[in-house]
């Protein structure tokens, strides 16, 4: 199974309904294609992990790569995993109702089964944004 982690930058302001649209399409397509993963949005940048059969992940990533809603896509990690590290597909972002530490806890829980490197990538991404805010 292939696991891919990338970072990208939103091209313009992203509203809650934009995020809901991305989430809706992702749940639908990724469910159909046997892809699990996590998408984290910090208000400016996206950090996403995708995992599944190599052909399915490659096809999804090509589609995502061509999406005009973001640019500057950089693959942080691309590796074979024997078992899924993200059991289901989820999207996390800081919600207006949630405190910073609650968001960090939620992200930590979502990456609990991931490799130490992938865990660190997501938790430090969330942490850096918290400090910068
Ligand atoms: C940051 C970001 C992450 C995305 N992640 C996914 C994803 O995991 N799966 C997916 O199918 N589409 C994802 N999309 C949306 C795709 O780029 C594309 O719009 C969608 O797959 C088209 O699906 P549709 O033809 O069913 O409407 C993402 C888009 C963005 C901007």
- The residue ranges of every structural domain in the chain are 2-132
Q: How many helices (H) and strands (E) does the chain have?
A: 4, 5
3-class secondary-structure state, position 46:
strand
The pLDDT profile of the chain, 133 residues, written as one tens digit per residue, is 999 999 999 999 999 899 999 999 999 999 999 999 999 998 899 999 999 999 999 999 999 999 999 999 999 999 999 999 998 887 777 776 777 888 888 889 999 999 999 999 999 988 876 666 5
Indicate the CATH number for domain 2-132: 3.30.70.100
Residues touching ligand 1 (Cβ under 6 Å) are 8, 22, 25-26, 29-30, 39, 46, 48, 50, 60, 63-64, 67, 69-70
- Please name the residue whose Cα sits nearest to atom 22 of ligand 1: 25
């Amino acid at each position: 199974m292939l696991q891919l982690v990338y970072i990208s930058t939103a091209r313009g302001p992203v509203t809650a309904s934009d995020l809901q649209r991305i989430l809706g399409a992702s749940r639908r397509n990724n469910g159909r294609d046997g892809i699990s993963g996590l998408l984290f949005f910090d208000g400016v940048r996206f950090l996403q992990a995708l995992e599944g059969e190599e052909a399915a992940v490659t096809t999804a990533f090509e589609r995502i790569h061509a999406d005009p809603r973001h640019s500057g896509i950089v693959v942080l990690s691309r590796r074979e995993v024997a078992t899924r590290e993200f059991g289901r597909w989820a999207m996390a972002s800081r919600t207006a109702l949630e405190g910073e530490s609650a968001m960090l806890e939620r992200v930590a829980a979502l990456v609990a089964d991931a490799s130490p490197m992938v865990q660190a990538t997501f938790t430090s991404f969330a942490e850096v944004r918290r400090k910068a805010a």
